[in-house]
Structure 1
Amino acid sequence: MTLKTPPGGEPRPNDAELEMYARAYRLRAEADTFYLRWQLHTAHAMLLEHDPTRIHTEHGLNGRQIGEGARIAARRFALLLGEPPAFSEPLLRLKIACYEAMIIDADELKRSRAVAMIEAAIRRDAQDLGIVLDEGPVMPDEGGWH
């Protein structure tokens, strides 16, 4: 990663970047859509990983690899869900449901820090909404759940 000015010497956004920013702006408040996309990609990951040795010739990857790609996509939607403040209890519940499903997958905890990031967002949202969460350990320790 560099902080250099892009080729051409102009740091202004190009058309592709402006389109990406416009798309991001339009998607900013669609928590239910993010949750459904997270669910869909998670389900796809589980299905694809069920047949890990199947070769998907059209994509040049096996089921395990494509399944990991689906998990990466799911994780992105989980982060999109978790990032903006939850201004209502129903939105907070969506974040919690996503978090609770992800936290029980020990492999997910090894693959990414998304679960910890979502947990931090949930705690802050609950604080802002005046909701008291259980203060017990939420993340498993190295030995797993007790």
Structure 2
Amino acid sequence: MNFLIVVATFFVMEGITWLTHKYIMHGFLWALHKDHHDHSNDGHMEKNDYFFVIFAVPTIILMYYGTVQNFNHWFYIAIGIALYGMAYFFVHDIFIHQRIKFLRDTQNPYLLAIRRAHKQHHKHIGKEKGECFGFLWVPVKYFKMYFSKNK
């Protein structure tokens, strides 16, 4: 049962990520997310990187609470969130934005679709008129662009 809680939480996080990205990061916390779109920061860190802490704190609290409560469901929910956060870091920061040069020349259709959808998202410098707010699931048209090439 605990494994199912972790897996379900991981997949539910995609919807939460979409909502958070569209309505919070492109909403009232745009001041933190803006430099991720307009690249106004000259350093390696962006204000946008503070979201790592903002999202990690509730996960740590859930993990702690679930641990002191004899590893109840809150602990396993926190594990699912943490795994999603790790996937987000590897795909978004390392693969898409190449903070560490890795998989630069991939021909994997799924990874190419994710990268293309993210580029489409970054086409919009302002907080309005955005698209592709998801992370692991992107609109089907991007999958078709790359999966059809392999036939």
Tell me which protein shows more helix as a share of its residues: 2
Higher Cα Rg, which structure: 1
Q: Shared topology, TM-score over 0.5?
A: no
Q: Using CA pairs below 8 Å that are at least 6 residues apart, which structure has the higher relative contact order? A: 2
TM-score, normalisation: structure 2:
0.29
